[in-house]
Structures are given as C-alpha cells and as structure tokens.
C-alpha cells in the first residue's frame, strides 16, 4: 500500500472542520478542501459543564452535512476528534452517541497533551514540506521561511483551550519531534464568557481576563521551555483572522495568510483594536468570520499575551523574537497525517 485516503474531523469549542486527504511517504495531499462550520458547541460549557440543546443541534447539522460529503468519496479511514468543550461536558456521551449514529464512527475525545502533539505535527509537517520543496527546486526560500529555525513553538489557540508545543533543537532532540507541550484552559469562547461580558468589554474586564490568561501561561512555562524558542508558528481561526487583519486584508484570504510572517508590532496593534471594538464594529471588518464576531476579542487578547510572554522568556536567553508565522495547518492536518502514517506503517 503506497497511499491511503483519510477523512479527518476536528470538532472544537467554536468550530468543526472536515478534510479528506491522501497520505503517502511524501506527506498529505488534499482531496477535498477543508470545510469549516461555526457551531459554538462549547457555548455555556465553561459555566454549566454541559452542552446546551441548541449547541448540540448546530453540531448535528454540521455532522450530517459532512456525512453527505463523505458519501460521495471513498475513504480508507475516518477519524473524528473532539477537544476542549467535549472534555468538559458532563453530557458528552449524548453527543458521542449521536455522532456515531450519523457517521458510523465514535468521536475520540483526546486529552490536551495529544491535541498539542497533533497540532505540532500538522503545523511543522507542512513547514518541513515547503522548505524541502524550495531546496529541491534550488530556489531561494520564500521570505516567510527565511528566518525559521528550531526550536519551534506551535500555538493552537482554540475556543476552549490553547495548546503550546515546543519541538526539539535539532541536536539533542530532532527539530520536528515534540519536546514538551501543555494545554491551557483558556480560549476565545471561554475568556469571552468568563470575563469579556460587556459590549465592548470594559477596562476592568480586560484586566481580569489578562490576569487569568497570565496565570495559565505561568503554569505552562513550568512545563515547556519557552525561553528556548526561536520560531513561533500560530495556527487556528483566531490567529489566522488576526493575521489577516494585521496584513490589511479587506476579506479573509487563506492563501495570503498561510505561511505569512507577521511582526509583533502589526499583530499586537490589530489585537488591541479588535479587542476594544463593539460587536457591531467587528461586523464591519471583512476578515472576521461572522461566527467569530462575539469571541474574537477574547482570542486576540490571549494571542497578545502568549506572544508577549514568549518573547520576554526568549529574551532572557538572548533570543530575539519579533514576528511569527501564520499557518492554516494544525490539528486537522495532524489528525489526518497521524492516522495515515499509522495505517501505512501497519501495512509495510
């Protein structure tokens, strides 16, 4: 068996995504471009520890749509992964049973550590592929990759949690191997529902949210070597949305954003501006998906704090970080690659 076709579903707190791709020795090749639906499955979960009926119905509608897409494709394996909100919901069995009845597979509710590792795999495998392609073609690498070197930090900023994963230095630990990871229980939906309740949020609410985020980052930094980081790769809807705004995109352009290098100066200004906007004002910003309007400010604040704190930690070791790479590749790519590689290995 030289290749396998894998369908992957990434079901998060705010969105659900489907991608179908062929996996072979050279990596991942997309068959059906990723489909994104904003379902807000985690609405109220931080407070109530349960999925609401409305949230479940939104999720089931998306899953039925995915089932229709899958009925028209041949796939060797389907993997459905659920993350932060599902980990926290007391009635998750109801959700899992319904998904299994629609798709024929039961959701894997993975721990934050596995989510972090899969996000790192998806983000760095794509980076590795692009760098190899540039070298094989004997061309100067794109500017977005000219200063990229290990150790990499992949940040997957979701609706309910944010994963921070550091890879190796290329010496003691291979640069594309996870060295340490940590999942923080902070995300765009969670911070908005917990702190940023006014429209627009008040200064006091922003300060409370910042303190909450920093407390989680403090804990994360006891688990990951943030001071060793050389390159930051940001994935997820919040990161790519804020990247598009920082780049001045009038509407969201995934091709422009994917692989772009964004300076801290540009994105921190964009983060602060969006955080302090009313929801009505955010609705006029073409790069923001309508399903993110109410929570993207919370995500922007998390992104600001993560970038600021990592840069400060790296500076203690003489490392200067003033930009990051935006990536459209993360957990979903990792889900598909991981399953595909395991299937190929089992058939060798």
Least confident of 30-44, 86-100, 134-148, 304-318: 134-148
Task: Give residue 104's region: left, alpha or beta (phi > 0; psi -120 to 50).
Answer: left
Residue given tokens 């579903």 in the structure block = 9
Homologous superfamily of domain range 137-330: Exopolyphosphatase. Domain 2 (3.30.420.150)
Q: Which pLDDT score, from 0 to 100, does residue 69 have?
A: 97
Q: How confident is the model at residue 144 (pLDDT cuts 50, 70, 90)?
A: very low
DSSP strand E in 212-274: where?
231-235, 261-263
Q: Measured between alpha carbons, how far is residue 45 from residues 52, 227, 231, 332 in Å? A: 8, 33, 33, 23
Domain 3-112+333-346 in CATH 3.30.420.40? yes
C-beta neighbour count of 236 within 10 angstroms: 27
Q: Which pLDDT score, from 0 to 100, does residue 44 have?
A: 94
Confirm whether pTM is higher than 0.75.
yes
Element (H, E) at 322: none
Q: Which pLDDT score, from 0 to 100, does residue 138 have?
A: 42
**Residue range(s) in the chain whose domain bears CATH number 3.30.420.150:** 137-330
Please, how many CA atoms are within 13 Å of residue 217, restricted to the half-sphere of its CB? 24
- By the 8 A CB rule, do 231 and 260 touch? no
**Residue range(s) in the chain whose domain bears CATH number 3.30.420.40:** 3-112+333-346
Alpha-carbon gap, residue 51 to 127, rounded angstroms: 36
- By the 8 A CB rule, do 159 and 295 touch? yes
Alpha-carbon gap, residue 261 to 87, rounded angstroms: 33
Who's near 248: CB < 8 A, 6+ residues apart? Answer: none
């Amino acid at each position: 068996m030289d290749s396998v076709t894998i369908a992957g579903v990434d079901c998060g707190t705010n969105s659900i995504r489907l991608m179908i791709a062929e996996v072979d020795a050279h990596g991942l090749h997309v068959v059906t471009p990723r489909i994104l639906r904003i379902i807000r499955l985690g609405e109220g979960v931080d407070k109530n520890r349960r999925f609401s009926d409305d949230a479940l119905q939104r999720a089931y509608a998306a899953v039925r749509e995915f089932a229709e897409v899958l009925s028209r494709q041949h796939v060797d394996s389907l993997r459905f992964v659920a993350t932060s909100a599902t980990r926290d919901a007391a009635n998750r069995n109801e959700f899992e049973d319904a998904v299994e009845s629609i798709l024929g597979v039961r959701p894997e509710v993975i721990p934050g550590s596995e989510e972090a590792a899969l996000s790192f795999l998806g983000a760095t495998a794509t980076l590795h592929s692009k760098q190899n392609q540039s070298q094989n073609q004997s061309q100067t690498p794109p500017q977005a990759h000219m200063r990229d070197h290990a150790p990499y930090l992949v940040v997957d900023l979701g609706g309910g949690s944010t994963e921070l994963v550091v890879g190796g230095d290329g010496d003691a630990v291979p640069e594309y191997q996870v060295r340490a990871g940590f999942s923080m229980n902070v995300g765009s939906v969670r911070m908005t529902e917990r702190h940023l309740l006014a429209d627009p949020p008040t200064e006091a609410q922003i300060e409370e949210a910042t303190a909450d985020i920093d407390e989680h980052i403090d804990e994360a930094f006891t688990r990951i070597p943030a001071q060793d980081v050389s390159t930051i790769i940001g994935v997820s809807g919040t990161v790519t949305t804020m990247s598009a705004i920082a780049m001045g995109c009038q509407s969201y352009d995934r091709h422009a954003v994917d692989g772009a290098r964004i300076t801290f100066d540009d994105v921190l200004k964009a983060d602060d501006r969006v955080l302090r906007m009313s929801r009505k004002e955010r609705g006029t910003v073409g790069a923001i998906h309508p399903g993110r309007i109410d929570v993207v400010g919370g995500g922007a604040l998390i992104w600001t704090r993560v970038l600021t704190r990592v840069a400060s930690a790296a500076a203690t070791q003489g490392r200067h970080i003033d930009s990051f790479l935006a990536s459209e590749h993360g957990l979903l790519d990792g889900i598909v690659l991981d399953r595909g590689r395991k299937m190929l290995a089992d058939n060798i």
